[in-house]
Structure formats: structure tokens, C-alpha cells
């Protein structure tokens, strides 16, 4: 029977390939969205003034650019929320949260924590992509506010998840500072 440590090690072993695949998917989606945005803008221009909004094509193009530049977007969100140039690595969680997670002894416990942190960071990338897609859908359909709020929430939650070690450290300091 496979134990939890082996399962996490197996999943973490595939994360590099998943991240590469995710990057390719984001790039292809970005190119498709950008082309569709440009085609929508050309169609809107042909229809003339008063025949529609520029919001849909502009948001489609912007979403495409953000999908193509996903690594830059993640770094920008890291800089915005945590003043980091790039997200912290999974094994740095022990440095950011020394009083709670840093006290864990044993190689197996540390391997499990690092593995779970890496998985959370990958899920954060997926959340950012989903958030971008939902925010794009808010400009494309009549559902507008129904998808913009969840989209923005996914982008923010994804940024927090990609910076999970730093976020845990901030939460540790916040809780430790409480009276």
C-alpha cells in the first residue's frame, strides 16, 4: 500500500511537466483570445459608431495578452501583494513561518510540507487563469457582474496561493501579534 509521503512525492515529481503543459496551454489560449479580440475589434469598427461596445473585444485582447504573459503576471501580482520579485519557492515555507511550520522535525514531515506547498502553488496558477477567464466572460456576456466578482476573487486567491510560503508567514505574524 502506498503511503501519503509516496503519493505526494509522485505528484510533486510531475509538477514540472504540469507547469510546462500549463504554460503551453496558457500561451495557446492567449494567442487565440488576442486574435479573437482583434477580429472583434475589426468587426466593431466595420459596424460603425453606436453599433456596439469596444469593451468585449478590448477585454478579449487584454485577456489574451495576460494569458501569453502569465509568468510576468504572476510576478507582478507577487510584487503587488508581497513586494517580492517572484513567488517564494516551496521549501522556503520553513523560513517564512518559523514558529509554526519551522518547528517540524523529521525529513518526512518536511518533505510532506514542501510537497503540499508546491501543489498549492501550482493550484494558484490554475486559479489565476480561471480568474482571468471569468473576468473576460464578464465583458463578453450579459452575465457581467455575476462573473467579474468571482473572477477577481480567483485572481487574488491564486496570487495568494502562488505565494503560499509568504502568505503563511504573514498569517503567522498576524496571529502572533494578536493580544
Question: What value does the mean pLDDT take over residues 83-99?
Answer: 80
For the cut 50, the answer to whether the pLDDT of residue 1 exceeds it is no
91 versus 17: the higher-pLDDT residue is 17
The pLDDT value recorded for residue 18 is 93
Contacts of 159 (CB under 8 A, 6+ apart): 74, 77, 78, 80, 81, 124, 128
Is residue 126 within 8 A of residue 152, CB to CB? The reply is: no
**Burial of 74 per CB tally in 10 Å (0-12, 13-18, 19+):** buried
DSSP 3-state percent helix, strand, coil across the chain (nearest 5): 80, 0, 20
pTM: 0.86
Within 13 Å and on the Cβ side, how many CA atoms surround 48?
A: 0
Contacts of 164 (CB under 8 A, 6+ apart): 88, 90, 93, 117, 120, 121, 124
Which three cell numbers, joined as nine digits, stand for 69? 504573459
Is residue 37 within 8 A of residue 67, CB to CB? The reply is: no
Amino acid at each position: 500500500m502506498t503511503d501519503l509521503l509516496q503519493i505526494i512525492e509522485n505528484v510533486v515529481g510531475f509538477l514540472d511537466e504540469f507547469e510546462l503543459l500549463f504554460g503551453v496551454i496558457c500561451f495557446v489560449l492567449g494567442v487565440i483570445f488576442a486574435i479573437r479580440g482583434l477580429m472583434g475589434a475589426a468587426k466593431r469598427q466595420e459596424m460603425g459608431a453606436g453599433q456596439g461596445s469596444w469593451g468585449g473585444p478590448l477585454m478579449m485582447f487584454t485577456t489574451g495578452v495576460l494569458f501569453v504573459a502569465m509568468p510576468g503576471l504572476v510576478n507582478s501580482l507577487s510584487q503587488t501583494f508581497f513586494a517580492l520579485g517572484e513567488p517564494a519557492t516551496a521549501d522556503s515555507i520553513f523560513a517564512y513561518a518559523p514558529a509554526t511550520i519551522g518547528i517540524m522535525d523529521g525529513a518526512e514531515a518536511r518533505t510532506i510540507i514542501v510537497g503540499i506547498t508546491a501543489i498549492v502553488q501550482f493550484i494558484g496558477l490554475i486559479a489565476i487563469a480561471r480568474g482571468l477567464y471569468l473576468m473576460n466572460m464578464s465583458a463578453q456576456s450579459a452575465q457581467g457582474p455575476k462573473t467579474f466578482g468571482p473572477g477577481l476573487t480567483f485572481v487574488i486567491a491564486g496570487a495568494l496561493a502562488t505565494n503560499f510560503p509568504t502568505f503563511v508567514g504573514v498569517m503567522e505574524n498576524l496571529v502572533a501579534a494578536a493580544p
